[in-house]
Amino acid sequence: MIRHIVLFTWTETATDEQKETVTAELGKLPGIIPQLRSYTVGPDAGINQGNHDYAVVADFDDVDDYLVYRDHPHHQAVIAEHIRPILASRAAVQLSL
């Protein structure tokens, strides 16, 4: 299994509507990209100070399935249209489990 993990911080000018649109648009991807075995996305819960703002955890059977997701035009469109315009920083890891 490959577990893809990415954390974002948003720009100071990002609006609540823009942030909520990220969740709405990412939430459509499991219906479009069947290689997604599990997909958990959302904003930080606000328990700790100094956290990043948003997380995506996506599970795949193998590396090839992850690459289908990574390079999928619908996924790339969400990144280009909704994530990148409000992105301040990004941290990612893929775990091989």
Q: Is 93 in the site for a copy of itself (CB under 8 A)?
A: yes
Q: Is 60 in the site for a copy of itself (CB under 8 A)?
A: no
- Is 63 a binder of a copy of itself (CB under 8 A)? yes
The verdict on 91 binding a copy of itself (CB under 8 A) reads yes
Half-sphere exposure in the Cβ direction for 79 (13 Å, CA): 12
Stretch that binds a copy of itself, among 17-25, 26-34, 50-58, 73-81 (CB under 8 A): 50-58
